[in-house]
Structure 1
């Protein structure tokens, strides 16, 4: 008989007893589903985090002594793959900036228990199916750059990557301030992680190819394609930002798999061409995890919002991610197939103008029904 699966452990933190009591009442029906703990104040929360495992931590921002930023920093160190939410009645940039690299979601107070439960359900679902032990083993054997929550890269290095021909921007960027205005913060964060990968590059087993750089160049093409698709279809700036960042990051897991050995990686490609396996099935057979699994794990560990993580999770199979924003998801999915010169049957898809080619694609065919439903 299989062992009973442990319930997700949730820690909720606020220095106001009335707020905690209200959340406790609204979430009491979940006692059979989640193991919930309630603490008053940051110091008590940090002590709990250091002595117990929590799958999710929800904390108020403004608390005396140790504030929400300190609580989420402790949570990120104790469990990088956990879910972290900040609650605040303040909307000042200082409060948001203090947690932008540790909080997966920032929620303005007052927040209803129903809304919080919906966010938690989606986040735990994204994390629940990951082969975490196998992913950690693969990342542990890869270059150290995959563990960087805050990549040590210079602004000019990040801007140089953004202006590469692969990313295909429509105009040059003069400085970091202009880059923030044009690309927005989440895209720049994604570019910083890609820049870090190029700095940690090594040759493959045959000493012939800088494999991290080759994966980064593909990521830039996908990110540039998603951005142009969004602009062509008139997306809101926030959706352009999310789709572009997700497309940039959706294949970082491929770099981890390639770092496990080019021979094993080639074996997975052979299964696709010779046995008819899908990309994900072949990767799972060879490595025990897919590039999607690893991309989701790294997006969580690096502190990207759940909207980004969900887009990464669905870039191959967009209909399998519940609650995802459909139009950005369609843009990220469509970017995988942008103007393939060897696949003329895809050229009728509505990519927009100025799309670059990008080599042979081993993905499945586009999900046309999903794209049509999204208005593409």
Structure 2
């Protein structure tokens, strides 16, 4: 099996020497190259297939942001990571679009290794080269037109409200994913993973969000007219319900906070691959949804036949590139088939069960076949006896929602 090729770019020779020494234990796993400029990096990329580029931001001549923008255009399959000692607002904003992830100097070797390994690992989720290029090239997910107008109006007001901004972002899957991606980058150095949009907005503050939306234009508008077979509003409402249900079920099972937080994040983002398909493979995905409806088949079965992969795998691939925790990526990837996962992560089980129960109890579209819980899987991990409690908790939650309408 060939080694993964990693390219490190920094104009400071001492930094490169430090990286070389720090990563020496991994030389049997990776073929590593160390160069001092963006131009030298492009010369390497012309000669070799590079899996991951790790670059500083501020460099003479070609900046790291400029380098990553070129890499994104010419070599879209290559994972793009920033490793920089600069954490000012200007650097962050300029790096948002071309980079998949952001790391701050100094960075411990275990952290750097873990980030690179995850980036390499998630590429195995999607086999089709064309699709991998499209997903890897995504800067951000498109947002609903009305919510895009709402966030712009609020940010342009005399005194933007963090609470209002949070409420708007929380109503859109694309905005939520991008804000969570940014706030969990090590540029900000928060001690734990932030799983709440409200927390993320509070921690980022108005100025950073304003720069992202009004200056960098990190959000693009989703053209709902081109995708008549998918309701983004219904998709997002389902994701919110699954997210809340997953947290509730984890609480019922007395899970630790990290497990509950990861289940909540994964529930919110578990169908994000559908948004990728609808925005990047619009015509093909319209046909997929129409076929699933006419033949009363599971959407992910038709997706695999027509596109070679499913929304679960595509969503997990993108979230893995963006640095979401492994438990979250695993839960997204296998939320339809947990038995195929490499490990029995509790976040995965919470999201899987919540997704099935929401589809069964909150029926929006009767044309699609309803999923069933895999009782053999639940019995294998010792949780089959929890199903009646999960059913009651789901019914109680959905009744609370209906009473609040």
Q: TM-score, normalised by structure 2?
A: 0.61
Instruction: Report which stretch shifted further, 16-25 or 239-248.
Output: 239-248
Q: Does 1:243 align with 2:266?
A: yes
Inter-CA distance 134–53: structure 2 relative to 1 (3 Å threshold): closer
Inter-CA distance 175–18: structure 2 relative to 1 (3 Å threshold): closer
Partner of 1:125: 121
SS of 2:8 mapped into structure 1: strand
Q: Does 1:201 align with 2:225?
A: yes
Structure 2 distance, partners of 1:178, 1:327, is: 31
- Alignment match of 2:373 (pick from 365, 371, 375): 365
1:13-52 to 2 correspondences below 5 Å: 13-49=9-45, 52=48
Inter-CA distance 333–202: structure 2 relative to 1 (3 Å threshold): same
Partner of 2:283: 259
Partner of 1:295: 315
Structure 1 distance, partners of 2:18, 2:294, is: 56
Structure 2 distance, partners of 1:241, 1:73, is: 32
Query: Any unmatched runs of 5+ in structure 1?
Result: 141-145, 162-173, 204-209, 344-355
Inter-CA distance 71–17: structure 2 relative to 1 (3 Å threshold): same
Inter-CA distance 241–188: structure 2 relative to 1 (3 Å threshold): farther
- Alignment match of 1:115 (pick from 111, 115, 133): 111
Alpha carbons 1:153, 1:195 under 8 Å: kept: yes
Name whichever structure is richer in helix by fraction: 2
Give the drift of 1:11.
1.0
- Alignment match of 2:85 (pick from 73, 83, 89): 89
Q: Does 1:337 align with 2:360?
A: no
1:240-283 CA-partner distances (Å, limit 9, x unpaired): 8843652351433564778327666666679986xxxx865664
Partner of 1:74: 70
1:116-155 to 2 correspondences below 5 Å: 116-133=112-129, 135=131, 149=139
Inter-CA distance 116–103: structure 2 relative to 1 (3 Å threshold): same
SS of 2:54 mapped into structure 1: strand
- Alignment match of 1:58 (pick from 45, 54, 58): 54
RMSD of aligned C-alpha atoms? Answer: 4.7
Alpha carbons 1:338, 1:357 under 8 Å: kept: no
- Alignment match of 1:220 (pick from 207, 216, 236): 236
Aligned residue-pair number: 324
Q: TM-score, normalised by structure 1?
A: 0.65
- Alignment match of 1:284 (pick from 304, 326, 332): 304
